[in-house]
Structure 1
């Protein structure tokens, strides 16, 4: 059986919400993506905004609640499901639900105010330290002497 997978980069449109379902924590993250293109020296909208809702269960729920806020730039990958609904003005609307997803936070370049901030007050730069790869335990040491 095959499954469709989608990856979306967008801005979180409101703070994530946690609820309980089947005795487990579930966090919902709403995000929007608007295609953009560069015209001259500025970026302009190049299409309609697409709305997405992603759900994260159990172990993923609390870390997302702790680190994602309205305005956070994220990448979400998961299985898409079309959601048809009626807008407040009575017209039909459509959004995409993303199930069984993964979420990554995309760091933004620091503004001048953050670059000049005293140490310890630099926002995301302090909250998410850079991780380096651990040495590979299975890697061969090609400079070692042969045992025979």
Structure 2
């Protein structure tokens, strides 16, 4: 028996609320990761690219249901720094331009909101309060048989 785990920390894309065919409220929260490398010749940092010169961006999405979806919809907005953890499921798809791509669906996800330093004030060390979470993070099952939805499109969620 094996167990896979996955975590990603980053800024949330705009959360998407939806409802399944059987009335379950759902909230999709996505985070992107683009690897950066230092160009040895120019000394500048650049986004990593594949052999064809396309940027390599990994999207990870977690879906939360009902009360948890409602709670997170009030606390997570585009740009919120979050950490999502759970079991990875590879999602292969073709984007609108016909390019084959892949992303990660995070099943049985937990989400933590990470506090960030406030931008105002004089000097470092000042922290902005973050929304509170329940002990152990927010939990949400991803493999709900009543959930609609599926692949990712080429637009950032």
TM, length-normalised to structure 2? 0.63
Stretches of structure 1 that go unaligned for 5 or more consecutive residues are 117-123, 130-148
Contact 1:11 1:33 in 2 (8 A): no
1:60 to 49, 62, 68: 68
Q: 1:19 to 1:88 in 2, by over 3 A?
A: same
Q: Take 1:102 and 1:57, find their aligned partners in 2: how far apart are those partners? A: 12
Contact 2:116 2:128 in 1 (8 A): no
Q: Report the equivalent of 2:155.
A: none
Structure (1 or 2) with the greater helix fraction = 1
Residue 52 (structure 2) pairs with residue 49 (structure 1): no
> Structure 1 stretches (4+) deviating beyond 3 angstroms?
35-39, 42-47, 126-129
The count of aligned residue pairs is 118
Q: CA deviation at 1:36?
A: 4.4
Stretches of structure 2 that go unaligned for 5 or more consecutive residues are 49-55, 133-157
Q: Report the equivalent of 2:121.
A: 115
Tell me how large the CA RMSD over aligned residues is: 2.8
Q: 1:10 to 1:43 in 2, by over 3 A?
A: farther
Q: What CA deviation, in whole Å up to 9, does each residue of 1:108-136 have, x standing for no partner?
A: 2111xx226xxxxxxx825537xxxxxxx
SS for the counterpart of 1:63 is helix
Contact 1:17 1:27 in 2 (8 A): yes
Q: What CA deviation, in whole Å up to 9, does each residue of 1:5-40 have, x standing for no partner?
A: 1111122122x122223432211112102234689x
Residue 131 (structure 2) pairs with residue 125 (structure 1): no
Relative contact order, CA 8 A, sep 6+: which one is greater?
2
Q: Which has the larger radius of gyration?
A: 1
